[in-house]
Amino acid sequence: MKKSKSENHLASSISADSCKDEFISSSPAETEDFAAKFAKKISPGTVIALFGELGSGKSVFARGFARGLGITEPVQSPTFVIVHEYRIRKKSVAVKFLFHLDLYRIENAESAFVFGMDEYLKPEAAITIIEWAERIEKQLPSGTIKIRLRHVTEKQRGILSVEL
Ligand SMILES: Nc1ncnc2c1ncn2[C@@H]1O[C@H](COP(=O)(O)OP(=O)(O)OP(=O)(O)O)[C@@H](O)[C@H]1O
Ligand SMILES: [Mg+2]
């Protein structure tokens, strides 16, 4: 498959020294578990940017991430409303909210900022997780953790993370 410009950009930033090894998940449950463990290490104020083509597992990852923060309500991708906000009630978790965005329907960075995107890019006591972060790649703040998901086989997905 031909790579888009933004994927090439991400691939080059990921090949830098800060790059961690790619994790190969063999099932949706494994992707969720990986994301749940990952979430426990993330401090409040962090933006998590998910990259990857349709069906690469961004929503599965986001669901696992939410579970890891103790969110028990159903987590579905907010494709039509753009953002879902979850309150985190677990006392042992420092993060108070999770903002889950899906920018698939946003054409470009400009329209993302019209709906108030900038507030979600400085989350303070919250964490923001963004599907289709390609749409606003240049606007992502420093300290953003980029996660690239990719198809390996029908049941396998590669997960790679890098800090901006
Ligand atoms: N190892 C795996 N990890 C995650 N998902 C997997 C895996 N193997 C198969 N799948 C399947 O791949 C699909 C991933 O769907 P998901 O909605 O998470 O993708 P997405 O990247 O959010 O796509 P979209 O861009 O449409 O939002 C699901 O149907 C899931 O069951
Ligand atoms: Mg999705």
- Give the residue with greater pLDDT, 40 vs 5: 40
Q: How close is the Cα of 19 to the center of ligand 1, in Å?
A: 23
User: What percent of the chain stands above pLDDT 70?
Assistant: 87
DSSP characters for 101-143? EE-TT--SHHHHHHTTHHHHTS-TTEEEEEETGGGGGGGPPTT
Q: What is the best residue among 23, 59, 135 to mutate for testing ligand 1's pocket, by most ligand atoms within 8 Å of CB?
A: 59
3-state secondary structure of 157: strand
The residue whose CA is least distant from atom 25 of ligand 1 is 54
Confidence grade of residue 23 (pLDDT, cut at 50, 70, 90): very high
pLDDT for position 25? 98
pLDDT tens-digit series, residues 85-104? 999 998 888 899 999 999 99
State the DSSP string of 24-68: EE-SHHHHHHHHHHHHTTPPTT-EEEEE--TTSSHHHHHHHHHHH
CATH number of 5-163: 3.40.50.300
Q: Which residue has the higher pLDDT, 19 or 47?
A: 47
Residue 157 has pLDDT above 60, yes or no: yes
Predicted local distance difference test score (pLDDT) of residue 5: 44
Domain layout of the chain by residue ranges: 5-163
pTM, full prediction: 0.88
Residue 74 Cα to ligand 2 middle (Å): 14
Q: How far is the CA of 91 from the centre of ligand 1 (A)?
A: 31
Give 100-114 pLDDT, tens digit per residue.
999 998 888 888 888
Among 31, 60, 80, 100, residue to substitute to test ligand 1 (most atoms within 8 Å of Cβ): 60
